[in-house]
Structure 1
Amino acid sequence: MTRQAIVPKELQSYYSDWKMAPGLISGQHVFLTGFTGTDPGGNLPEDPEAQIRNAFEKIGLVLREANLDYGSLVEMTSYHVGLRAHLEVFKAVRADYVVEPYPAWTAIEVAGFVQEGAIVEIRPIAALD
């Protein structure tokens, strides 16, 4: 099976520094790395809504690099520190990005992430067809 890394220029450090592809085409799907809410400069805003939007914007970078859009998403898992504290904000922001038919979604509470202060990480899967 042929696999192809999807590496938008804005996310090149994921590939070169962390040795992981922001997205990887395998078969008829694109598997995306989990994205937290850092901004393009690597800074983490304190505002939960800003973090969540930043994560969705990074997803969009990968989708566009693969000539896809948010309508290509078929599944997403979101990991949350303080899930109940920002679930409604997450749902509202998510609604700005996902389109019908809506992707499957699982939300999981976790203890923390690599970057202190991160409250969310989103790992989606998109279909090529």
Structure 2
Amino acid sequence: MVTRVTWEQLNKAGNNLLSPSSVSNGRVFTSGCLGTDAEGKMPESVAEQTKNAIESLGEVLKASGSSFDDVVKVLLFVGDASYVSEVNQIYSKYFTLRPARSCVVVGFPNPHVKVEIECVAEVSSLAAKL
């Protein structure tokens, strides 16, 4: 059975074409998270976008019964290779267990977007027992 986290569960307006995450067979599959701030605006700074995107991902993981410690694989998109060092500095504060990761330089449709992150995680063992 597949369950989905909704934008309403996160108290956020989101893209009606997708769910923030789907949970199936003890795995969490997230959609990509962008670095918008609390007002829904895109900061100019790569660092702010990275922090916001990762914290948004954390909210999705929590709503899905998971956490950063349960992440198996991360897929990170950056708009320019020059952002990677700055992104890594922030990333390493959240992903202390160093899950598998791919980092891809892409051309985002929105030129203000610099970072997007998604992941696959396990449902936390504690959450699975509840």
Say yes or no: TM over 0.5: yes
Q: How many residues align structurally?
A: 122
Q: Distance in 2 between matches of 1:108 and 1:46?
A: 20
1:106 and 2:102 are equivalent in the alignment: yes
The one-letter code of the counterpart of 1:4 is T
Instruction: Give the TM-score taking structure 1 as reference length.
Output: 0.87
Which residue pairs with 1:74 in the alignment? 72
Percent identity between matched residues is: 22
Cross-structure match for 1:87: 84
Which residue of the partner structure matches residue 128 of structure 2? none
Cα offset, 1:42, TM superposition:
1.1
Mark the runs of 5 or more structure 1 residues left unpaired by the alignment.
none
Query: Aligned partners of 1:40, 1:105: CA distance in 2, in Å?
Result: 27
Residue 123 of structure 1 deviates from its aligned partner by: 1.2
- Counterpart amino acid of residue 74 in structure 1: V
Distance 1:48 1:99 in 2: 20
> d(CA) in 2 for partners of 1:57 and 1:41?
14
Q: Runs of 4 or more off by more than 2 Å in structure 1?
A: 7-11
TM-score by length of 2: 0.86
SS in 1 for 2:94: coil
Name the residue aligned to 1:46.
44
In the aligned structure 2, how far is the partner of 1:96 from the partner of 1:107?
Answer: 17
**Runs of 5+ unmatched residues, structure 2:** 126-130
Equivalent pair of 1:10/1:40 in contact (CA under 8 Å) = no
